[in-house]
RNA sequence: GGCGGGAUACCCGAGUGGCCAAAGGGGCCAGACUGUAAAUCUGGUGGCUCUGCCUUCGCAGGUUCGAAUCCUGCUCCCGCCA
């Protein structure tokens, strides 16, 4: 195996990495592997709890990919056993929902499919940590527990906070870092990838490895990727994530919404554009920079072509204010409507309907009250052909006909189909 | 187990008999501005057949002309003590 020079490897590995612990051991490991021709074993573990892989997850995965490209061995741990516990990292309370083993297995398969979009899964080792945890005896578990003190556990920020605020810390959660660390022992990892919040477990892994007379792993920790709000950690529950399985156009829209200040981090962590070039890009027009960023990432999960199309479409529909190409149709059956809205029967027999009622029945607003507010604030436009007409009176009577476009606010739009 | 505090709209949180569909903030929505975002400004933010009506302040009852506010019971949270 021929590895690139250590300096070159280090430059690639260091990009977008917040912490390498212990820093000096990384070069030593790389040097040794280059001399012996033995690839380093790069560990990355995930718990198959959710299903949507988003860009936040791709940060360490991209790092994994880079290690692969440098000739090292990717080792993916599917935490099917740790998933039964739930990672307490950064949590201020224990997870509530418990996953069944069947859920976990289904999630794991789905997860591997998605991960394949970032790393070369055919060249990766995949392990499930249930393979070893399921076989451990209680005595063995006890022995492992003997390696960790409560005081050590409490050095973790999340546990310390919970302890201080008297929020429950369950015993099985205490075992989580131990399990994660034991995975490192079992697969003899040289490097472990993850976020900075994993520091405790990464260091515990070193202790356990030393205990077993194994070489100790080095933690390579990525910063936390912020979400599209530019503030908080990207995550599903916060609704600020960009999923890698989303359509190019959906990704495009989300990318264009990130705050300018967040672009630097995204370029650094999500693209391979050389950093000098990134600096130049960021000095140009922010909008152009954002388009460039979006295209670069989208191309990685779809194709150059799709990325281009998405960017063009965004420019036309969002930037240029043109009507979107995929307007959903809403079918209104006048007979049914008349039965639902007896007070509007008079209008309906003439295929007419008050604007506020229309928004409600077309599903563009959740209630007529909401529709009235929206209309009064100038949010309703009706397109008959290409001509928009602003409707500002909720009671304005609209002539219903098929093909009419109803646009409520910036985002909600529907094409009517009238049925008698 | 004892004592005390609390539960208000999407979230936080004021309100302690009528002027309360309920202050304020966050979020969100609409409009202006813009580069798309941010920032800023304006308005809005229970429902309806809408100058009015109906439903909502943990749940169920009660007092009262009138209750988010007072009383009784219940459920759940939280603090202190043991």
- Say how far apart CA A145 and CA A175 lie, in whole Å: 8
pLDDT band at A349 (very low <50, low <70, confident <90, very high): confident
Across the range A367-395, mean pLDDT stands at 88
Direct distance between the N- and C-terminal alpha carbons of chain A, in angstroms, rounded to an integer: 73
A107, two tokens? 């999630």
Q: What is the pLDDT of residue A93?
A: 46
Q: Where are the beta strands (DSSP E) in A87-172?
A: 125-128
Is the distance between the Cβ of A369 and the closest atom of strand B smaller than 7 Å?
Answer: yes
| Separation between the CA of A290 and the C1’ of B73 (whole angstroms) | 62
**Does A90 have pLDDT greater than 70?**
no
Q: Decide: residue A324, CB within 10 A, 0-12 exposed, 13-18 middle, 19+ buried.
A: middle
Owner of token pair 């304005």: A396
Rounding to the nearest 10 degrees, give the CA dihedral for residues A146, A147, A151, A152.
-150
pTM for the model: 0.79
Is the pLDDT reported for residue A366 higher than 70? yes
Mean pLDDT, chain A, rounded, equals 86
Averaged over A109-130, what is the pLDDT? Answer: 92
Beta carbons within 8 Å of A319's beta carbon, 6+ residues apart: none
Q: Minimum mean pLDDT among A43-47, A173-177, A251-255: which range?
A: A173-177
| Residue A235: band (very low, low, confident or very high) from pLDDT cuts 50, 70, 90 | confident
HSE at residue A181, side-chain half, CA atoms within 13 A, is 26
Split at pLDDT 50, 70, 90, the class of A240 is confident
pLDDT grade for A118, boundaries at 50, 70 and 90: very high
> Which pairs from A90-96 meet CB under 8 Å and 24+ separation?
A90/A158, A90/A197, A90/A233, A91/A158, A92/A158, A92/A161, A92/A162, A92/A165, A92/A167, A93/A162, A93/A167, A93/A168, A94/A168, A94/A169, A94/A170, A94/A173
Tokens found for residue A17: 């990495």
Which residues in 287-326 of chain A line strand B, with CB less than 7 A from it?
287-291, 318-319
Task: Flag whether pLDDT at A353 surpasses 70.
Answer: yes
pLDDT at A92: 47
Q: What is the dihedral of CA A319, A323, A327, A333, to 10 degrees?
A: 140
Assigned token pair, A130:
């249930």
Strand-pair partners of A75: A43, A125
Name residue, tokens 């495009």: A252
Element holding A40 (H helix, E strand) = none
- Which residues 183 to 202 of A reach strand B, CB within 7 A? none
Answer for A228: CB within 7 Å of strand B: no
A291-348 pLDDT, tens digit per residue, is 999 999 999 999 999 999 999 988 888 877 777 878 888 898 888 888 888 888 888 8
Other C-beta atoms within 10 Å of A401: how many?
A: 11
pLDDT per residue as tens digits for the range A44-73: 998 887 667 889 889 999 999 999 999 999
Give the pLDDT of residue A71.
93
DSSP one-letter string for A187-225 = HT-SEEEEEGGGHHHHHHHHHHHHHTT-PPPEEEEEPPP
CA of A208 to C1' of B31 (A): 61
**How many whole angstroms separate alpha carbon A368 and alpha carbon A302?**
41
Distance from C-alpha of A49 to C-alpha of A87, rounded to nearest angstrom = 10
Among residues of chain A, what percentage have pLDDT more than 90? 39
Rounded CA-CA distance A10/A278 in Å is 20
Report long-range pairs for A5-13 (Cβ below 8 Å, ≥24 apart).
Answer: A5/A34, A6/A30, A6/A31, A6/A34, A9/A70, A12/A66, A12/A70, A13/A63, A13/A66, A13/A67, A13/A70, A13/A220
Say which nucleotide is closest to residue A354, CA to C1' distance.
B49
Q: Is a pLDDT exceeding 60 seen at residue A283?
A: yes
Which nucleotide has the least CA–C1' distance to A377?
A: B30
Q: For residue A39, is pLDDT > 80? A: yes
- Spanning CA of A218 to C1' of B8, the rounded length in angstroms is 52
Question: What does the block give as tokens for A112?
Answer: 């591997």
- What is the torsional sign of CA A231, A232, A233, A237? negative
What does each C-alpha distance from A300 to A69, A78, A103, A113, A305 come to in angstroms?
A: 16, 24, 29, 15, 11
Position A278 scores a pLDDT of 92
Which A residues between 347 and 366 have a beta carbon under 7 A from any strand B atom?
356-357, 360, 366
**Confidence band of A163 (pLDDT split at 50, 70, 90):** low
> Which nucleotide lies nearest residue A320, CA to C1'?
B36
A17-38 confidence digits (pLDDT tens): 998 988 889 999 999 999 999 9
Compute φ and ψ for A253, nearest 5 degrees. -60, -40
What three-state secondary structure class fits A101? helix
- Among all strands, which nt has the closest C1' to A344 (CA)? B49
């Amino acid at each position: 195996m021929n590895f690139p020079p250590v300096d070159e490897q280090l430059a690639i590995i260091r990009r977008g990495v917040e912490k390498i612990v212990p820093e000096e051991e990384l070069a030593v490991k790389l040097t040794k592997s280059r001399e012996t021709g033995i690839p380093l074993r790069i560990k990355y573990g995930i718990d198959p709890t959710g299903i949507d892989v988003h860009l936040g997850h791709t940060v360490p995965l991209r790092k994994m990919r880079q290690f692969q490209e440098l000739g090292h061995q990717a080792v993916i741990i599917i935490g099917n056993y740790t998933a039964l516990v739930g990672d307490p990292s950064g949590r201020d309370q224990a997870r509530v929902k418990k996953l069944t083993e069947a859920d976990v297995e289904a999630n794991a398969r789905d997860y591997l499919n998605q991960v394949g979009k970032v790393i070369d899964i055919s060249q990766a080792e995949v392990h499930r940590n249930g393979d070893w945890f399921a076989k451990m005896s209680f005595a063995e578990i006890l022995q492992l527990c003997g390696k960790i003190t409560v005081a050590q556990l409490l050095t973790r920020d999340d546990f310390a906070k919970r302890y201080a605020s008297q929020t429950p810390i369950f015993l099985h959660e205490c075992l989580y870092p131990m399990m994660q660390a034991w995975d490192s022992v079992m697969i003899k990892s040289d490097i472990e990838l993850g976020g900075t919040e994993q520091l405790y477990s990464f260091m515990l892994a070193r202790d356990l490895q030393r205990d077993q007379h194994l070489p100790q792993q080095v933690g390579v920790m990525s910063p936390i990727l912020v979400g599209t709000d530019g503030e908080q950690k990207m995550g599903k529950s916060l609704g600020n994530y960009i999923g890698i399985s989303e359509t190019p156009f959906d990704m495009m829209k989300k990318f264009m919404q990130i705050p300018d200040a967040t672009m630097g981090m995204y370029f650094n962590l999500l693209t391979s554009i050389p950093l000098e070039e990134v600096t130049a890009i960021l000095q140009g027009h922010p909008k152009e920079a954002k388009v460039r960023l979006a295209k670069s990432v989208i191309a990685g999960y779809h194709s150059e072509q799709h990325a281009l199309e998405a960017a063009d479409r965004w420019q036309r529909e969002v930037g240029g204010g043109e009507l979107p190409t995929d307007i959903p149709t809403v079918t209104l059956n006048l007979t049914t409507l008349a039965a639902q809205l007896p007070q509007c029967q008079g209008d309906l027999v003439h295929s007419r309907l008050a604007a506020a009622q229309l928004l409600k029945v077309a599903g563009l607003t959740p209630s007529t009250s909401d529709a009235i507010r929206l209309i009064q604030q100038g949010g309703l436009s009706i397109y008959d052909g290409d001509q928009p007409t602003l409707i500002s009176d909720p009671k304005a009577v609209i002539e219903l006909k098929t093909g009419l476009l109803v646009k409520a606010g910036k985002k909600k739009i529907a094409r009517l189909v009238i049925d008698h």
